[in-house]
């Protein structure tokens, strides 16, 4: 989950690296550090806490100017967030500097070996052993890339490593196994980073790194090899967004900006999905239609917010394709011996494309002979590369840790996959598919309308800042939305928040209802699912009779709920299956405003990082 930046070129490495770390701080903010090669030596600085602490340290104690450097912003795993445990880590001679993302599982044995040979290690981290191992190997081969290959062959676990050596001042070397690392190629300069956001202000030309590969960066060339030294085939690609997309653009928080970007993100995800013949097309489907017609079940694997998108997708897939659909937490999937085979289609949903739990679930599915389709926002990431098909969401960069526009675009992508399967399998006619696409095309404007009416929601959120608990209820596709609303409050406001299926209320959760307890209720349309609507109105009456403060989200024109709502939030009328696309937005605004009122850090909530790249 940590953020990594490496640079070699003609600019000040320190300036480039620190600017890159600012763009990656969403990946971890327990500590930060940099190392620069200059004047025949290596200079480093690192501080616990957020990046601003490192910037103050650099202002008080400037490092020498150099044109090669590396940097790191940390989400702690091995060892607490202290100055000593912060990266970079150096060898005893201070000639090697290493930054690392991931976990080295056999570090204890390696550390014991090093200490037996007289090495002194000062931190609690697994990373420091790599610096010492690299120093040993470099002393024999005098080539940092070769030393990295030799060290990587000894390491177990998931890791990205980036290193420099004072004896090779114009070289940065990186290595990747099950953890993100991307190369940026400029004019007379090159970059390494966990995410293209780190170098997007300098170049939009990127190179993918594959599994178990080492990359050597020099000013004039990039060389990629396998851990065994064999030449690797590289795939270049162009990043289709620029630096301004990763800036706040006048908003107080990235989350506010990303909430506001949702209408455009939804429209971009739909762009170009219907071909000249009126058929639905996806990005990179390397699964033949004949194989899709043989699919006997769909399994969705995802984590967190993406898991809630998968829960909603289940309703659409089963309704439109008549295929059974299971939704699994990726972190549990491979450990429970799931029943899969060649006729199973596994859909892996991940914003970053690097979520380790989802990647491991994907690999398990492929080992069982299943086909895998990825829904992802990040071009060139691991999950799409290891899948048989991919549907990119085109949401643009999402920097805030709490997901907003990624969730809505994942929903749109899930609907598109369901429609595509219906098209291929003949369970949906072409005119039916085009009708749903028309409805989806109207969602962008509907989300815009929701955003224009959010001031009462913000005021309500501020009024609840002293509450300890908020409950969320929903039925049908409203149930996963309730779960998502509760998750947002947990992430941002640090409140006790729970989402329940409204029909389960009388089976236990109603015991939680007490005087003035805020309960958010998502009401299905009275037009499409009238029986569900009537039942949830009964639920609202039940909790209000017990003193709950009812916050009701209902579509325009639904007057049946008005008498029972202490606070009524209107959303545009949409087809039932698509309602989550508009119903989720008030919950995002609500959580963001409530967290702000409680004085919390909205973009970087405590203990969380954007991309979970360890299990």
Distance in angstroms (rounded) separating the CA atoms of residues 584 and 562: 20
Distance in angstroms (rounded) separating the CA atoms of residues 408 and 261: 11
Tell which residue, 487, 574, 567, 485, has the closest CA to residue 526.
Answer: 574
Facing residues of 375 across strands?
349, 391
- Which strand ranges, in their side-by-side order, compose the sheet holding 344-350? 284-285, 389-392, 371-376, 344-350, 297-302, 325-329
Distance in angstroms (rounded) separating the CA atoms of residues 510 and 517: 11
Burial group, residue 172, by CB count within 10 angstroms (0-12, 13-18, 19+): buried
Asked if the peptide bond before residue 88 counts as cis, ω within 30 degrees of 0, the response is yes
Q: What tokens were used for 590?
A: 């609500």
Q: Identify the residue whose tokens are 């790194």.
A: 209
Distance in angstroms (rounded) separating the CA atoms of residues 437 and 221: 46
From residue 533, how far is each of 317, 318, 492, 576 by CA, in Å?
22, 21, 30, 11
* Phi/psi at 315 (5° precision): -60, -45
Q: DSSP string spanning 302-315?
A: E-HHHHHHHHHHHH
Q: Which of 2, 152, 303, 592 is catalytic?
A: 2
Max Cα separation, the chain?
A: 80
From residue 191, how far is each of 16, 366, 586 by CA, in Å?
9, 33, 39
Collapsed DSSP state (helix, strand, coil) of residue 544 = helix
376 is annotated as an active-site residue = no
DSSP state of 106: T
610 is annotated as an active-site residue = yes
Q: Which of 314, 405, 428, 610 is catalytic?
A: 610
Does residue 129 contact residue 107 with C-beta atoms inside 8 Å? yes
Does residue 4 contact residue 70 with C-beta atoms inside 8 Å? yes
DSSP state of 132: H
Facing residues of 172 across strands?
217
- Which residues participate in catalysis according to the annotation? 2, 610
């Amino acid at each position: 989950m940590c953020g990594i930046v490496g640079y070699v070129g003609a600019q000040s490495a320190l300036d480039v690296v620190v600017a890159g770390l600012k763009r990656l701080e969403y990946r971890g903010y327990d500590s930060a550090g940099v190392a620069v090669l200059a004047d025949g030596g290596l200079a480093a600085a690192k501080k616990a806490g957020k990046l601003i602490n490192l910037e103050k340290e650099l202002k008080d104690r400037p490092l020498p100017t150099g044109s090669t450097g590396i940097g790191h912003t940390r989400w702690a795993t091995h060892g607490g967030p202290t100055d000593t445990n912060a990266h970079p880590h150096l060898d005893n001679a201070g000639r090697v500097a290493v930054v690392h993302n991931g976990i080295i599982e056999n570090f204890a044995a390696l550390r014991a070996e090093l200490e037996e040979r007289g090495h002194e290690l000062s931190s609690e981290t697994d990373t420091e052993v790599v610096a010492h191992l690299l120093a040993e190997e470099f002393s024999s081969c005098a080539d940092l890339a070769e030393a990295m290959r030799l060290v990587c062959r000894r390491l177990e676990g998931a890791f990205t490593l980036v290193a420099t050596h004072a004896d090779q001042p114009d070289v940065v070397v990186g290595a990747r196994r099950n953890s993100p690392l991307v190369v940026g190629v400029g004019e007379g300069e090159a970059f390494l980073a966990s995410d293209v956001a780190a170098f997007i202000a300098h170049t939009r030309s990127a190179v993918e790194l594959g599994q178990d590969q080492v990359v050597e960066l020099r000013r004039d060339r990039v060389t990629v090899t396998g851990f065994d030294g064999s030449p690797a085939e590289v795939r270049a690609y162009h990043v289709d967004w620029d630096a301004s997309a990763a800036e706040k653009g006048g908003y107080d928080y990235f989350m506010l900006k990303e909430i506001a970007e949702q209408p455009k993100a939804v429209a971009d995800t739909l762009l170009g999905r219907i071909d000249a013949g009126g058929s639905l097309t996806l990005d990179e489907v390397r699964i033949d239609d004949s194989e899709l017609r043989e699919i006997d079940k769909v399994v969705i694997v995802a984590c967190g917010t993406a898991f809630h998108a998968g829960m909603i997708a289940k309703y659409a897939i089963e309704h439109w394709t008549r295929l059974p659909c299971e939704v699994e937490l990726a972190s549990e999937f491979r450990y429970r011996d799931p029943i899969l085979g060649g006729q199973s289609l596994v859909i892996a949903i991940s914003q970053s494309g690097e979520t380790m739990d989802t990647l491991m679930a994907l690999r398990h599915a492929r080992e069982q002979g299943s086909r895998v389709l990825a829904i992802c926002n990040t071009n060139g990431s691991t999950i799409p590369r290891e899948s048989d098909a991919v549907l990119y969401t085109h949401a643009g960069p999402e920097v805030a840790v709490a997901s907003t526009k990624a969730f809505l675009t994942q929903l749109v992508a899930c609907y598109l996959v369901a429609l595509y399967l219906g098209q291929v399998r003949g369970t949906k006619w072409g005119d039916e598919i085009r009708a749903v696409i028309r409805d989806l095309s109207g969602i962008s404007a509907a989300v815009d309308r929701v955003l224009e009416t959010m001031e009462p929601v913000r005021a309500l959120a501020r009024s609840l800042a002293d509450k300890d608990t908020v409950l969320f209820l929903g039925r049908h596709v409203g149930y996963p939305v309730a779960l998502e609303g509760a998750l947002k409050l947990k992430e941002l406001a640090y409140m006790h928040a729970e989402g329940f299926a409204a029909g389960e209320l009388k089976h236990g959760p109603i015991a939680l209802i007490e005087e003035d307890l805020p309960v958010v209720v998502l009401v299905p349309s009275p037009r499409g699912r009238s029986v569900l609507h009537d039942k949830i109105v009964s639920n609202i009456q039940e909790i209000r009779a017990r003193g709950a403060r009812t916050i009701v989200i209902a579509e325009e024109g639904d007057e049946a709920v008005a008498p029972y709502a202490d606070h009524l939030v209107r959303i545009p009328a949409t087809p039932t299956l698509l309602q989550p696309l508009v119903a989720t937005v008030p919950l995002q605004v609500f959580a963001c405003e409530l967290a702000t009122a409680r004085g919390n850090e909205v973009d970087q909530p405590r203990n969380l990082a954007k991309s979970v790249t360890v299990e």
